[in-house]
Structure 1
Amino acid sequence: MNGASRGALAAARERLDALTDSTSADAAKLAEELAAVTALLHREVSLRRVLTDPAQPGEAKAELAQRLLGGQTGGTTVDLVSGLVRSRWSQSRDLTDALEELANIADLTAAQQRGALDNVEDELFRFGRIVSSSTELRAALTNRAAKVSAKSELLRSLLGGRADVTTERLVTRLVTAPRGRSLEAGLESLSKLAAERRDRMVAVVTSAVVLSASQKQRLGAALAKLYGRTMHLNLDVDPEVLGGIRVQVGDEVINGSIADRIDDAARRVAG
């Protein structure tokens, strides 16, 4: 997104945070309803265009949204959507993208409220690794000819009872309603949103062997000092690393041995 759409989304995220800070707001229910509105506007292109038409008064578009959603969703969802359609959007698709992001944030907030956000982050990362290592699974989940019910059932067999309910909901929505994105891009976006919930960055750490608790603690502390933010470590094991470690934070890649990189990080911070 850019221009007007970026500003509209930022304002909507602030409103969502304010609403979910209240104990009376059911973040999981809000996520479900926002996802349903996303699906509606993705299907009904003409309606989406009307709701994002810059020539129409914002209040008129809000009233239309209220008539459509009133009685179908809760008041909190209606208020959020009304605020969204009052805003200006660079293109109509941005509205559905924004709604989808808000639904995902609401689900992650629900996980955070019950102390499960760390587990959801880890499960999203591990699921992405499983998909990338299995061409058959990826093909089954991204097959456009496959029925939604078949994909949902496959995900239930993979995640049901093994993953957090929020992880299962997020992945199921992504797989059954990809809206033109690749599975990998969608999982990466979810991981970033999860990290943002705690205002922290994500480091993908690949090592030849499983890191000890002490090594993880030292590495996380060193990276946090380097980047000035709390760092969440997504850990992966690859024997081809040959005793070293590869750390990726955003677009930056750090290669080197565990001890050397930690010592170097400590020297850089001290300097």
Structure 2
Amino acid sequence: MNGASREALASARERLDALTDNTSVDAAQLAEELAAVTGLLDREVSLRRVFTDPAQAGEAKAELVARVLGGQVGGETVDLLSGMVRSRWSRSRDLVDAIEELANIADLVAAQRADALDGVEDELFRFARIVASSTELRAALTDRTATVSAKAELLRSLLGGRAHPVTERLVVRLVTQPRGRSLEGGLDALSKLAAARRDRMVAVVTSAVPLSDQQKQRLGAVLAKLYGRQMHLNLDVDPEVLGGISVRVGEEVINGTIVDRLEEVGRRMAG
């Protein structure tokens, strides 16, 4: 997003945070309702254009939200969406993208309240690795001829009872409502949102053998110092790394033969 849309999304996130700070608000229900509105506005192009029309007064658009959605979603959802349509958006699609992101964040808030956010982060990463390693599974989940219900049922058979309900909801929504994104890109975006809930960056660490607890602690400390933020480590094992490790943070890749090499890099950068 650019310009006005970025500012509008930032404001919407602040309103969502203020709303979900109240523990009496059902974050999971809020996520479900926002996801439903995302689907509605994806289908109803004319409606989302009205909601983002700069020629229309913000209050008039907020009143339209209440008329169209008031009987279908809760008051908290209506209030949140009313604030969003009062904002200025660069493109009508940006509003829908923002509502979808808020739906995902609300589900992550539900996980955080249940002290399960770390587990959801790890499950999203592991599922992404499973998809990357199975062309058959990826083909089934991205098959455009398969029905939404068939994909949802496949995911529930894979994740039901094995993953946290928030993980299952996030993945099912992504697969059944891809909205033009790749499966890999969508999973990566969800992982970043989960990390951001604790103001953490995600480091994907690939090593030839599993790292010890001490090595993980040392690596996390070094990366936190390098990037100035708490770091969540997604760990993967690949024998082809040949005894070393590879660390990817966003688009940046750090290769090293041992953890001590990363510590040395940290010392040089600090100096």
Fold match (TM-score > 0.5): yes
Partner residue of 2:158?
158
Does the CA-based 8 Å contact 2:219-2:259 persist in structure 1? no
Partner residue of 2:69?
69
Partner residue of 2:136?
136
Which letter maps to 1:173?
R
Partner residue of 1:37?
37
Partner residue of 2:8?
8
Cα distance in 2 for partners of 1:260, 1:235 equals 18
Cα distance in 2 for partners of 1:60, 1:204 equals 46
Partner residue of 2:98?
98
TM-score, with structure 1 as normaliser: 0.98
Secondary structure class of the residue paired with 2:82? helix
Question: Are positions 1:25 and 2:25 aligned together?
Answer: yes
Partner residue of 1:248?
248
Does the CA-based 8 Å contact 1:218-1:262 persist in structure 2? no
Cα distance in 1 for partners of 2:52, 2:222 equals 46
Q: Describe the superposition over 1:123-164 as per-residue Cα deviations: whole angstroms up to 9, x where unpaired.
A: 101111110111111010001110011000100111000011
Does the CA-based 8 Å contact 2:245-2:257 persist in structure 1? yes
Q: Describe the superposition over 1:144-199 as per-residue Cα deviations: whole angstroms up to 9, x where unpaired.
A: 11001100010011100001100000000000000111111111110110010000
Secondary structure class of the residue paired with 1:65? helix
> Could you list the runs of 4 or more consecutive aligned residues of structure 1 that deviate by over 4 angstroms after TM superposition?
none
Cα distance in 2 for partners of 1:245, 1:137 equals 28
CA offset at residue 25 of structure 1? 1.1
Cα distance in 1 for partners of 2:266, 2:32 equals 45
Cα distance in 2 for partners of 1:203, 1:266 equals 15
- Percent identity reads 80
Partner residue of 2:217?
217
Gaps of 5+ in 2: none
Which letter maps to 1:116?
A
Give aligned pairs, total: 271
Secondary structure class of the residue paired with 1:218? helix
Does the CA-based 8 Å contact 1:12-1:83 persist in structure 2? yes
Secondary structure class of the residue paired with 2:145? coil
CA offset at residue 270 of structure 1? 5.6
Which letter maps to 2:207?
S
Cα distance in 1 for partners of 2:249, 2:129 equals 17
Q: Describe the superposition over 1:80-119 as per-residue Cα deviations: whole angstroms up to 9, x where unpaired.
A: 0111111111111111000000000000011011110000
Cα distance in 2 for partners of 1:220, 1:123 equals 19
Computed over aligned residues only, the root mean square deviation of the Cα atoms, in angstroms, reads 1.0
CA offset at residue 77 of structure 1? 0.1
| Bigger mean CA deviation after superposition, 254-263 or 188-197 | 254-263
CA offset at residue 56 of structure 1? 0.8
